[in-house]
Amino acid sequence: MAKSYHSLDPKRSLGQNFLSDPWWIARIADALSLGQEDCVLEIGPGKGALTRELLPRTRDLVAVEIDGRMVEHLQAELGHHENLRIVHADFLRYNLSNELGGRRVRIMGNLPYHVTSAILMRVLDEIRRGHEDGQAAQITDFSIMIQKEVAQRILAGPGSRTYGILSVFTALFCQGEILLDVPPNAFFPRPKITSAVIRLRPLPAPLAHVEDWDFFRRVVRAAFNQRRKMLRRSLSGVPGLPEPEALHDEDLLSRRPESLSVAEFAQLAARLGALNKLQQEDAHES
Ligand code: SAM
């Protein structure tokens, strides 16, 4: 039979592994510990498996879905709920500050696996803005289902094999924990991997002081781009960064990125940033 235009067949390109087992759906919703006063934003409601569970447990639910077929389906099935707003948008382009600015919001979702990192970085950036600007959305908790292996990377500490860019940025802004593991048979289509639900709670202030966020990002990315190399090598020849040898710090430059704590990365970026400024001023004068 030919597929109708409105077919809800899962699209792999949009990371559509739908929760299909009612027992697991209820367990996940319980683990999220919702409160009747909560304002929740759900990323990627899909056909509404979680949305249905969240609706009776929250005051307001904003569901942001990229796939027009799902949006149409959700409108038909759940559009009558007064506490639900269905938004047809790419979450990565959704302006949280404009839409939810100043409000306390919990963000949740069974995330599309292919954009997990981008979504995490987007939310962390919003948490940072929330610290700096009262007009930004005030995110009180970010609870998501993701690949278990990615969850472990996000929550890893220094010295661990899985410690990396995501761990550093998450630890700067949040405390995190794994709430539960979810097996492949809870989904249709079945993914090959085990998933985990994690909860990230924003810290009252960033763990370390960072003056220039773009510069800090550049340093952390460059360091982990060659994670087996010493900082002396990985930070050398990177556009926009000064040559690390100019720090004249043998001990630091002989270290590998996975051994640096978040505070040490912030110090490293501050020192390289100061050096950069000096070199730019010198170049300007000569
Ligand atoms: N919540 C549903 C469930 O648990 O059955 C669906 C989860 S499925 C893993 C991910 C959902 O995110 C899909 O519905 C997909 O269309 C949607 N999605 C993918 N990329 C998105 C994006 N950038 N912004 C918003 N939704 C997105």
| Residue 274 counted as domain residue | yes
Would you state the pLDDT for residue 2? Answer: 40
Residue 273 beta carbon below 6 angstroms from any ligand 1 atom: no
Coil, helix or strand at residue 140: strand
Radius of gyration in angstroms for the set of CA atoms belonging to the chain, rounded to a whole number: 21
* 44 & 177 share domain: yes
Q: Say if CB 25 and CB 1 are below 8 A apart.
A: no
| Best probe residue, ligand 1, of 51, 110, 146 (max atoms within 8 Å of C-beta) | 110
Residue 49 beta carbon below 6 angstroms from any ligand 1 atom: yes
* 87 & 188 share domain: yes
| Best probe residue, ligand 1, of 21, 64, 65, 88 (max atoms within 8 Å of C-beta) | 65
Which structure tokens are listed for 215? 């510069």
Taking residues 83-102, report their average pLDDT.
Answer: 93
| Residue 71 counted as domain residue | yes
Q: Residue 63's domain is classified under what CATH number?
A: 3.40.50.150
Q: Residue 234's domain is classified under what CATH number?
A: 1.10.8.100
* 121 & 26 share domain: yes
Amino acid sitting at position 181: D
* 218 & 157 share domain: no
Q: Domains in the chain: how many in total?
A: 2
**Banded pLDDT at 133 (limits 50, 70, 90):** confident
Would you state the pLDDT for residue 87? Answer: 98
Q: What range does the domain containing 236 cover?
A: 213-285
Residue 257 beta carbon below 6 angstroms from any ligand 1 atom: no
Which structure tokens are listed for 61? 């639910």
Would you state the pLDDT for residue 6? Answer: 57
Q: What angle do CA 200, 206, 209 make, to 5 degrees?
A: 155
Instruction: State pLDDT tens for residues 165-213.
Output: 999 999 999 999 999 999 999 999 999 999 999 999 999 999 999 999 9
Q: Please state, in angstroms and rounded to a whole number, the distance separating the CA atoms of residues 85 and 63.
A: 6
Amino acid sitting at position 249: D
* 194 & 65 share domain: yes
Would you state the pLDDT for residue 9? Answer: 94
Mean pLDDT of the chain: 94
Would you state the pLDDT for residue 97? Answer: 85
Q: Please state, in angstroms and rounded to a whole number, the distance separating the CA atoms of residues 101 and 155.
A: 28
Would you state the pLDDT for residue 3? Answer: 43
Residue 119 beta carbon below 6 angstroms from any ligand 1 atom: no
| Of residues 187 and 5, more confidently modeled | 187
**Banded pLDDT at 61 (limits 50, 70, 90):** very high
* Helix, strand, coil % over all residues of the chain, rounded to 5: 45, 20, 35
Residues 6+ apart with CB under 8 A from 18: 10, 46, 47, 49, 187, 188
Residue 70 beta carbon below 6 angstroms from any ligand 1 atom: yes
| Best probe residue, ligand 1, of 67, 73, 193 (max atoms within 8 Å of C-beta) | 67
The ligand 1 atom at the shortest distance from the C-alpha of residue 45 is: 1
* 53 & 126 share domain: yes
Q: Among residues of the chain, what percentage have pLDDT more than 90?
A: 88
Residue 31 beta carbon below 6 angstroms from any ligand 1 atom: no
Which structure tokens are listed for 162? 């899985």
Q: Please state, in angstroms and rounded to a whole number, the distance separating the CA atoms of residues 171 and 76.
A: 40
Q: Please state, in angstroms and rounded to a whole number, the distance separating the CA atoms of residues 26 and 138.
A: 27
Residue after which a domain boundary falls, among 145, 174, 202: 202
DSSP state of 14: G
Indicate whether 5 pLDDT > 80: no
* 184 & 217 share domain: no
Q: Say if CB 207 and CB 229 are below 8 A apart.
A: no
Q: Say if CB 88 and CB 65 are below 8 A apart.
A: yes
| Residue 4 counted as domain residue | no
Which structure tokens are listed for 121? 């970085």
Indicate whether 285 pLDDT > 80: no
Report how far apart the first and last C-alpha atoms of the chain are (Å, whole number).
Answer: 74
| Best probe residue, ligand 1, of 66, 77, 113 (max atoms within 8 Å of C-beta) | 66
The ligand 1 atom at the shortest distance from the C-alpha of residue 46 is: 14
